[in-house]
Structure 1
């Protein structure tokens, strides 16, 4: 009886060991197959070198080779303006680029976030071709209570006297702010009570703004981020504001009347008659 029990125990242990061995082989085969499929999938996506940052870098800092590294980036997802070649980012002249916006660790270095080689982070580096910078005077009320930041877009309203009436009129829409006072860093979050803001516009619009600023009061209105709504002409005067209807007097010419004068004794009588053509 003991021999039979021992034999059954040995057979059971052998079967259990065989089952563990088979399961281990199956798991190994599954893992190998999965790794092979992942390798094939990765090889199906072409990769390209892209410069990214090794650490966070702030506005106004010079970008050096110590700040960046190269990683493999999926070819179909490379951001527009990314740098892929060393000479393009760091020219042989040795002139360094300046950071225009705060960039975080592992973020791709984009052309819109750095200056041209050798340039600083001043306002001139942000001016687009054919555009000019112009300063507008503001205060707490006309400058949106100090919540304006470089990079924001604003509408400009003019208030003054026109055609004998006090009028407020929208004269410019979606003007981009280049600087608030002497601050061009768009990553500052603290409100700033500014005395001037610098906007970007083509020369004809600069002339219009200069004329408007010299002849009336300008007020800025902050445009929401990503808002591309086209606004029709806006103009309101005091009568429209208060709901007063202006009466228009129409002058009518008196109808021409022809008469014949006749005398009866000392009395002169005028008799209406049809006027000759």
Structure 2
């Protein structure tokens, strides 16, 4: 039977996030040599993951990446415990928690952040002390990036190395090998030294291509256009000396967005370099249209019909009026 105090620790971590009581129980759990080491470490990770997922519901995609990074760091600590050492693990986990805490100010309470930090650090220390082995000694090889991979970047084998993880801690979503017959791109930022997960990738369907286009907008924050977003692409320009705004392509998937500084102080527009995925026909249309006018984005849901055009060929959507700015012809 596991220690009753440890059961209380898990309960607090999962349900109440009581920082003071967790701190006491964590200290006792870390010093109790009779605890089953493997169960202790796994339960601590599950508790930390559950708390972080609840926090993510109130924050955003960027923090989700950091949540997964923390969990991957803990898992990687198992085969690499001799390399990092106890002090190295504590410092590394503390740095990651500190980085995430900067994004949590105003989102969750300080006791919650303290608890998450304690859970993560003690998990690493417990694994380091006990030298847990994989279930039945079975190991699984997974791919780990050797450097950060930006959203929209093509996935290539030379960007990865193989790391052995215990079979029990190797998630089914971890990528074991890349399919050379499939073009794959990063759906979001992929951090170095964390196992590659299939949720981070997007495969390029047969007959599709990717390209970067320059988008102009004034009232649409770039934060809205996250990787995976679907959007309609508009074109604005002059036809027979008349300003025209028309729908160019619908339901195009965005792979990544890079924001630059405003074009000039006289024109309050921002330019966005957007990498999109679409059919070959749409890609050719986008490249041709970009040389003859200005492209814009309209957010949409996957099930929404294509946006319509207002009278006179003008889109009646907030934020797109400036696409017909005379300085951009």
In the superposition, the TM-score normalised over structure 2's length comes to 0.35
Decide which structure has greater helix share: 2
In the superposition, the TM-score normalised over structure 1's length comes to 0.40
Decide which structure has greater strand share: 1
Which protein has the larger Cα radius of gyration, Structure 1 or Structure 2?
Answer: 1
